Amino acid sequence: MSLIRKTSWSAVAAIVLTGGRFLMTILLARKLGVGEFGSFAFSQWLVDMVFLTLGFGLPGSASRFFAEFRTQSANLLAFERWFLLRSSFALVAVAVASPLVALALRGEFDLQFALLQSGWTASAAAWALLLARAQGLQKFKRVAMSNGIYVAIALGGLALLPKDGVHVSAAMLLIMIATAAAAIASWLPLPKLDNVRTGDTEGLNLRTLNIFGINIWIASVVGALVWSRGELVVVRTELGASEVAIYSIGLSLVGIATQGLMLLTGALGPHLAHMWGAGKHEEAINLCRRITDMLTLTAAILCIFLLAFSPELIRFTFGPTYAGAEGVLAILGVGTIGLASAAANQLLQINTDGAFARDVNIVGAIGLFVVAIPVVKSIGIEGAAISRVLIQIGVGAMTIYAVRRLVSVGAVNWINQVRSVAVIFMAFAFGLTGAHVFHIRGLEFCLCVLMLIYLVRNDDGGFVYGELLNGIRGILMGKGR
């Protein structure tokens, strides 16, 4: 029940942020226009990548070790000092590096742009670090509040901007202010500590902290390339800012769908870390198996939804100007099935101190660029989408295989993945037969969902969402009493 309560608050936080960012993307795309929106999307990519490169795995370390030491007062205080010192250096580093990288890629100097790029990156880094700390401490209400503040300020500001002709610098300034406010709101003190002496640690292993930090740092950087927007630099170089805008629309809509999928895992990482640290390995493995079944069913449904309704999603959200993103969105939707490995990845991170995530993401990142560069040159932005899908599914498959081999064969029920892929392949093959009217695609979607619900079951043969729904019902009934 504790995990379900935490997942519920984590879901609220994710819904607020995901829904808010979706509305923000729509407003930005419409008010900036294709060219300026492409520049904004590329600057956002730089913000993310510079922080991941110079953050040295600190968010991942915070999520794991604040959770693992949550009931070990001395270790918690010692880790807090370790974390805050390194976070301070990281903030300075990203503030200096981000405008320099932007200058190198843009080829022209603009002082206003450089200052905005620096401030945006520093505030985004501070927010990411403090959110990871709050999540590790399992303060998901605070995470939800911080996300709400960010969304409220950003949406309020965007609503006040002119209907069109907005310059990219105005959008950058607004998002920077919203991010800084959210970072301030995410700070909270440690839980009350009793009888803690300076330097007193029960078992804080600096070597483990450093090894995990390095591994998760490498995994985060290359993982962002594999799971986020790594190929965007290829699109920018080969096709220009306008195509970046079109491709970013497809990525944004898929991001909304995948964030919805990740609602099931928002509180999972800290919970698994706490269970593993307490020696409850068998319970952690069983939890991974159950969550993976839920993720598999959800990912398959999302995949088929995006395949079936990509034209309507583009037209009704971003308008006909971005109609070129329809094919990109349909292709990218197939890659969501790779996210079914999220729970297995969390367990492998803990069990291998981040080594597996590091290695598999390095392979994935190299593969992404090896495939993307020639394919984008040959067929354009659809080629970027194809390269992303191939790598995401490949990395997901390797993760499922590895968790069964390195942790336990019981960590994942691989039969459910095979059944889901078979249904997705049927839906994809149907889509290749040609354009279909809306009601035919709707019927196809409904039939595929029914097949998935029938085929993807838990170990007892029951509905995979049954435990989650029963837990939520118990919470609601408990509050009612």
Per-residue pLDDT of the chain (481 residues; tens, 9 = 90+): 454 555 566 666 667 777 787 788 888 888 887 778 878 878 888 888 888 888 787 887 887 778 777 777 777 788 888 888 888 899 999 999 988 888 877 666 678 888 998 999 999 999 989 988 887 787 777 888 888 899 999 989 888 888 777 788 888 899 999 999 999 998 888 766 554 444 444 556 677 777 777 777 777 777 666 666 667 777 777 777 677 778 877 877 787 766 666 655 555 666 777 777 777 888 888 888 888 888 888 889 888 988 888 888 888 877 777 777 888 888 888 888 888 888 888 888 788 877 787 788 788 878 888 888 888 888 888 888 888 888 888 888 898 999 888 888 888 888 888 899 899 888 888 777 665 778 888 888 999 999 998 888 887 777 776 665 554 455 445 544 4
For residue 16, the model assigns a pLDDT of 76
Distance spanning both ends of the chain, measured CA to CA: 16
Q: Is residue 132 within 8 Å of residue 60, measured between CB atoms? A: yes
CA distances 327 to 147, 210, 321, 383, Å, are 31, 43, 14, 11
CA distances 357 to 182, 261, 478, Å, are 29, 20, 39
Distance between CA atoms of residues 350 and 356, nearest Å: 10
For residue 177, the model assigns a pLDDT of 94
Distance between CA atoms of residues 89 and 444, nearest Å: 53
Distance between CA atoms of residues 55 and 31, nearest Å: 32
For residue 42, the model assigns a pLDDT of 80
For residue 11, the model assigns a pLDDT of 62
Q: Is residue 158 within 8 Å of residue 174, measured between CB atoms? A: yes
Distance between CA atoms of residues 151 and 16, nearest Å: 7
Distance between CA atoms of residues 267 and 144, nearest Å: 12
CA distances 53 to 56, 412, 420, Å, are 7, 32, 35
Q: Is residue 38 within 8 Å of residue 244, measured between CB atoms? A: yes
CA distances 384 to 138, 239, 273, Å, are 37, 11, 35
The H-or-E segment that residue 466 falls in is helix 466-480
Distance between CA atoms of residues 379 and 370, nearest Å: 15
DSSP 228: I
